[in-house]
Amino acid sequence: MKILPVFFSALFFHSCLASASAELPLIPRPSTVETHEGQLTIGARIVVRVDPSDPAALRVAHALSDMLARLGGPSLTVGEGSPAQGRAAMEQTVIVISRRADAPVTQSEGYTLDVTAKAARIIARDESGLYYGAVSLAQLVSANATDKTFHVPAVHIADWPRFAWRGLMIDSARHMQSVAEIEGILEQMALHKLNVLHWHLTDDQGWRIEIKRYPELTHTGAWRTPPDAGKDGEPARYGGYYSQDDIRHVVAYAAARHITVVPELDMPGHAQAAVAAYPQFGVTGQRPAVSADWGVNPYLYNVDEPTLHFLEGVLDEVMALFPSRYIHLGGDEAIKDQWEASPAVQQRMRALGLQHPEQLQSWLMGRLGHYLDNHGRRLIGWDEILEGGVPGDAAVMSWRGIKGIEQATRAGHDVVVAPDPFLYLDYVQSTRNDETAGRLPMQSLQSVYAFEIVPPELADTQVRRILGAQANVWTEHMPTAAHLQHAIFPRLDALAENVWTPADKRNWQSFLARLPAQLARYRQQGIGYADSAYAVDIGVDRRQALASSKATVTLSNQIGSGVIHYTLDGPPPDTHSPVYTKPFTATLPVTIRAATLTTSGSLLANTRERVLDEAHLRSLEGNELTACPSEHIDEMRAQPTPDATSLTPTYTINVFDSCRLTPPLPLDGAAVVNIDLARLPRNVALAHDAKLITSRATATKHGELELRADRCDGPALSVTNLPDPTSSPARFTLTAALPPMHGTHSLCLVMTGSPQAPYYGVGRLQWQPAAASLKKPRP
């Protein structure tokens, strides 16, 4: 989503202070802050001074210069030694960066930042502390500018992180990012004081890391053939990989920003791409295709010695590329069907004295963990590695809710908190019609901020086992950098504050006061953040409006923050437009445009528009429909094709049931319903959950669309045949006749078909009287 560019101004800073006294525009919020009278004014000339014998301080000085350049700040001159004496010194604003063993903040990665009317000084015991002090100073400088002059309030900050592990996981296996895009993510991580990039490099859908000893891993395993390849914009082949030079570059780029890259190679499951490349290391000996299906696929690694030597050979090259203490070996969602069906694997289990396949996975992880340990590394894996037992020195990444945190810490394992859904950024962040692809239910900006990393019931000894936390970005529905940016930002700000700021200093209202300055930084850097939290919802009572030609309009946004301005049949709103304070009445037809601004007039969310006329009031967007009542609901916003590069359209589907239900609609006199549908590939592998898919018998070869009133198990109002998928376009419109309707009713849309039938997404639904000649609402 593109946001209009706005240059930094003093207004951002002052608007923050207006809403929260003494709040500095810093995210994450520092541990301690003391504000003082006065400010440091920075003009065209600014010098950074460092001790000439301290290369760490010199590196941070250059890093500060780079940060300010990206954030639109002043140019710096980096010098060594004390400020020059005499007249020249009076013309120079000085920043001093100093690493000292007696620095006041003793915590690792901590720093002090002191700003007076004459100078700014950063002091820390280690280079990371100096770096994070530079990040805070860069945020303060960039948030308050007039023309080419910058102003920093006089302040004393003593700051250190709450957790040592402050991470972000990027999945490059499902959809791959360019090296430049990974660099952009690392830049933003650094500016948020995050320090671990967990890089998911292998999965069923692609092997993304070059292993020279085993070239087929990338020659074959890096490429998949999507469903409907070559049709409707879907590529004939999707894939790619990172060369070892690419990876060395990324690791060095991250290290310069005090970020450790932790690689993940998934095993024993999520191995289909590897088995496609080297079937002899799979269980069946058969060569599958690289998977084009998201979800849980059945392919596992074998457990014989040749396969173990293969995996150890892969790890040799991985360890040579990644200096990180931790190596992530996955361990999640490994359904054991192939192991259980294999006589050779069963014989191996008996030889090892194992009773069930979870113990075999534990044995495999223990063997590889021991191999890593012998090379000075440490195994980390998803919380399934706890099943069947795991080596005591293994760290656990808890993802299945929060239960794994208690289980792992009680067993004496270090834990990284990364739970689904709370810190999974592949979930949508609003339920708006214009929200892009992702999983449901919504995980909003506020819910990420409110998540408590440390469960309150843990004993102190267990709390000390929590290394930190990270957000995970699974990319099944994020083919492009635009998708990724929309999903990550600004929820990354909420995560950053959660993992850095002391728990008792976190405050939602304070965060909202500081967020506008951060959004301005995103705009200055061209980051396409999601404005979902501030986007205006334009609500009306359809039935009242259709009956009276007058609409009572309510305007709101998700977080109840900012100032909403609106226009009626006018241009996009600005500060001169009316301010929304309470519901108002508008006469139809009318076009309402609304946007959220700061008190100073800077844009927080792009203008949203709603046309109110008879045709639009008798129309409903498909994403406003919900899943029909069912015991099994797993919803997502899917794109028209698996690798679609545009952010819209999206279609909400329940992977277990194609039935969709509208909210109550005013159907007085409605005689026909026009329904825009999209045929979507059923490319979600559900493993053992496939038996939960609802199957409905068809009367015709390709199935039917049945309309029912109010109840999804009631009689059909109408039945319309679905077209032949081989000869009809992927997007089409069906017209269904209705019996005479009176009053308000929900409509239930039921698709018949087998569990192998395509998904059908609803784009738009319009109902109208038989005699009416309504114009179809424009897209």
Q: How far from 777 is each of 144, 594, 616, 692, 717, CA to CA, in Å?
A: 44, 20, 6, 37, 24
483 is known as an active-site residue: no
> Computed from CA positions of residues 291, 297, 299, 300, in that sequence, does the dihedral angle turn out positive or negative?
positive
Instruction: Report the alpha-carbon distance of residue 48 to residue 454 in Å, rounded.
Output: 39
270 is known as an active-site residue: yes
- Look at residues 72, 51, 63, 69 and name the one whose alpha carbon lies nearest to residue 7: 72
Contact 480, 1 (CB under 8 A): no
Contact 609, 628 (CB under 8 A): no
CB atoms within 10 A of CB 370: 12
How remote is the C-alpha of 309 from its chain's centroid? Answer: 36
Instruction: Report the alpha-carbon distance of residue 738 to residue 745 in Å, rounded.
Output: 12
Instruction: Report the alpha-carbon distance of residue 12 to residue 682 in Å, rounded.
Output: 47
Q: How far from 465 is each of 31, 601, 644, CA to CA, in Å?
A: 22, 46, 42
Q: How far from 15 is each of 25, 30, 156, CA to CA, in Å?
A: 10, 19, 21
For the record, the structure tokens of 122 come out as 């950063």
* Active-site hit among 66, 312, 333, 387: 333
Instruction: Report the alpha-carbon distance of residue 453 to residue 503 in Å, rounded.
Output: 9
CB atoms within 10 A of CB 679: 22
- Look at residues 516, 515, 527, 531 and name the one whose alpha carbon lies nearest to residue 29: 515
* Active-site hit among 200, 270, 565, 616: 270
Q: How far from 234 is each of 162, 220, 238, 480, 734, CA to CA, in Å?
A: 45, 20, 9, 14, 24
- Look at residues 684, 629, 649 and name the one whose alpha carbon lies nearest to residue 761: 649
Residues near 638 by Cβ (< 8 Å), separated by ≥ 6? 437, 477, 650, 651, 652, 653, 680, 759, 761
| 649 preceded by a cis bond (ω within 30 of 0) | yes
For the record, the structure tokens of 373 come out as 């340990």
Instruction: Report the alpha-carbon distance of residue 82 to residue 68 in Å, rounded.
Output: 22
- Look at residues 417, 508, 517 and name the one whose alpha carbon lies nearest to residue 196: 417
Label each residue of 253-283 as H, E or C: HHHCCCCEEEEEEEECCCCHHHHHHCHHHEC
For the record, the structure tokens of 774 come out as 């309504």
How remote is the C-alpha of 413 from its chain's centroid? Answer: 27
Instruction: Report the alpha-carbon distance of residue 444 to residue 483 in Å, rounded.
Output: 16
Helix (H) or strand (E) holding 198: strand 196-203
* Helix 244-255 × helix 305-321 angle, to 10°: 50
Helix (H) or strand (E) holding 520: helix 508-525
175 is known as an active-site residue: no
* Active-site hit among 109, 159, 171, 203: 203
Q: In angstroms, how far is the first alpha carbon of the chain from the final one?
A: 17
Let me know if 286 is exposed, middle or buried by CB neighbors in 10 A (0-12, 13-18, 19+). exposed
Strands (E), 655-758: 660-661, 665-666, 672-680, 684-685, 704-709, 716-721, 731-737, 744-745, 747-751
Phi, psi of 229 (to 5 degrees): -55, 135
Instruction: Report the alpha-carbon distance of residue 221 to residue 467 in Å, rounded.
Output: 34
Active site members:
203, 270, 333
